[in-house]
Structure 1
Amino acid sequence: MGDDGDLGFAHRLADLAWEVAMRHVASGDRTAAEKEDGSPVTPADLRVEGELRALVARERPADAFDGEEYAGRDGGPLRWVVDPVDGTGSLLAGEPEWSTLIALARGRDVRLGVVSAPALGRRWWASHGGGAWTAAFTGPPGGRGTPVPLRVSSADRLGRARVGIWPPPQRIGARERASAAGLAAGAEETVPDLDWTGRGTAEPPPPKPSTGSGTCHGGLLVAAGLLDAFLLVGAGPWDIAALVPIVREAGGAFSDLAGQDRFDTGSALFSNGRVHGEALDAVRPAP
């Protein structure tokens, strides 16, 4: 739980992201451009990533950096994997469920993860062997409340599990819909409750599984014991990496849909560990 070394530096990065993002929110700027994939990008996304890149370059010049908005910077074996604003649509809508995701990886091994949610006043973090934690956070410097440990749920069968899936079926491809539909068919409850085969409609768009829960991401719901499993598809490595140690240190499990320990294949399955095998069988792509 301590803040020495790499984890301490990760918290400093999160503090900086907090300051930059909240200055943007206070300005009232709601401008956005559209990226090639159709998703929005705001000045906050660009400024946060730019500031974090600069701090890593100054204080950790040997480390590589991989962010969502700019080309990656090569370096040594350690790589910072960052999503400057996860939930840009929520930020633009004035909703609080957006965050900065920060991970440090050596190859495929994610050594630590920090999720900072300024508008929710909360932070989550974990490092190898240090447990998974959350705390209220009112902003730097020194605004962190008493850390509370995170623990996954005890459900031991997929048929008794509450699972989250994101994005909705109309926004993903046929292969991913098949995985989502397989998981939904085997679970007791699915959030959001949709026809995951994609044959139905989704107007208006459904809320994310984390909406109203005080978190920003379904993986955090697994770590907190509020979901038994969470499937995320069509995602970048920066959407996944920071959640891996948080879920694992809370007692849970992570893999991609092929069962590999990889955060760079576009999809992620997080679970409490007890239902992971069944969930993986349900989502595993056909050969």
Structure 2
Amino acid sequence: MSLRTGYDDDLRLAHVIADQVDALTMSRFKALDLKIETKPDLTPVSDADRDAEALIRSQLSRTRPRDAVHGEEMADTGHGPRRWVVDPIDGTKNFVRGVPVWATLIALLDGDQVVVGLVSAPALGRRWWAAQGSGAWTGRSLSQATQMHVSKVDRLEDASFSYSSLTGWEERGRLPQVLDLMRTVWRTRAFGDFWSYVLVAEGAVDVAAEPELALHDMAALVPIVTEAGGRFTSVGGAPGPFGGSGAASNGLLHDELLARLDLADD
């Protein structure tokens, strides 16, 4: 692929950092001495999560010292309009159980716009990325890439729907709506985490949604979906990664997806 945007160097940097993080996380994947703790929100965190975020922050401190950084495991640093958002291991539960569906997420925000997003899943041998105005791509590197496009499915009855779990919807009191959606669509699968959204960008899945997500869960995914031609909002319809939940689609099905989930007033 050829880079054509004002964020070329930032996207290249994200790839360089991801190469380094992939080496670290793969060295700890299935390691017998992996250390796992439970965070206050009862989710797991491993020494690999913390070491990976420390590595990302160290590289950004050296190469982008004026930029702010927001991550899942450590305190925010810096100020200013440019802010890197990182999730060192998205899918930690998979990581600690030896399931290869996990990834490092790296995003750059310029003001309230996500201008760079990269998802690297080294155990799958896959990477997805996008920069504002340059399209969405997948491959092993910038030089070995294929451009992605969302599907053209325009009926929910023909659509594939991906989610993470049903318990979150139940806690929000929206399980009946989700079950009704599942009965309507052609196919449902709980691919979960980043995997649901990059599959939307690839056109393999048509709609995906989760009722509760943090900024670091979503930021890198937003430009990947939108540069592939899709839409990414909260389940309440707010565009981008700031609404506390995620809904992604090929665009053609987005309004109906939100209406089916009945969350427009949340």
Between Structure 1 and Structure 2, how many residues are aligned?
261
Structure 2: state its 5+ residue gaps.
none
Residue from 275, 281, 284 that aligns with 2:259: 281
CA deviation profile, 1:106-153 (whole Å, cap 9, x unmatched): 23311011000111111111111111111136xxxxxx7621111111
Alpha-carbon separation, structure 1, partners of 2:242 and 2:85: 11
| 18-27 or 33-42: bigger deviation | 18-27
Partner of residue 147, structure 1: 145
Q: CA offsets, 1:75-101, max 9 Å, x none? A: 210111110001111111112111100
- The answer as to whether partners of 2:29 and 2:96 remain within 8 angstroms in 1 is no
Structure 1 match to 2:48: 44
**More deviation in 216-225 or 18-27?**
18-27
Look up the equivalent residue of 1:249 and give its one-letter code: E
One-letter code aligned to 1:233: P
Measured at CA, do residues 73 and 255 of structure 1 come closer, stay the same or move farther in structure 2, by a change above 3 Å?
A: same
1:58 corresponds in structure 2 to 62
Among 237, 241, 252, which residue is 1:259 paired with?
237
Q: State the alpha-carbon separation in 2 of the partners of residues 80 and 10 from structure 1.
A: 10
Q: Is the 8 A contact 1:91 1:98 kept in 2?
A: yes
Q: Which amino acid aligns with 1:38?
A: L
Q: Do the aligned partners of 1:108 and 1:263 also contact (CA within 8 Å) in 2?
A: no
Report the TM-score when normalising by structure 1: 0.84
CA deviations over 1:254-284 (Å, ceiling 9, x no partner): 1111211131222110101111111111124
Matching of residues 62-73 of structure 1 within 5 Å: 62-73=66-77
Aligned counterpart, 1:17: 21
Query: For the structure 1 residues 250 and 59, does the alpha-carbon distance in structure 2 shift closer, same or farther, using more than 3 Å as the test?
Result: same
After superposition, residues 165-176 of structure 1 pair within 5 angstroms as: 165-169=163-167, 173-176=171-174
Aligned partner of 1:282: which letter? R
Q: TM-score, normalised by structure 2?
A: 0.90
Aligned Cα root-mean-square deviation (Å) = 2.1
CA distance 1:2–1:10, change in 2 (3 Å) = farther
Kindly tell me: are residues 56 and 224 of structure 1, through their superposed partners in 2, closer, same or farther at Cα, counting changes over 3 Å? same
8 Å contact from structure 2 (residues 165, 192) kept in 1: no
Counterpart check, 1:32 vs 2:30: no
Q: Within 2, Cα distance between the matches of 1:80 and 1:178?
A: 37
Tell me, in whole angstroms, the C-alpha distance in 2 between the residues paired with 1:172 and 1:101. 27
1:54-133 superposed matches below 5 A: 54-133=58-137
Structure 1 CA distance, aligned partners of 2:40 and 2:225?
31
CA shift in 2, pair 1:183/1:62, >3 Å? farther
Q: Secondary structure at the match of 2:27?
A: helix
- Which of 7, 11, 19 is 2:11 aligned to? 7
Shift of residue 9, structure 1, vs aligned partner? 1.1
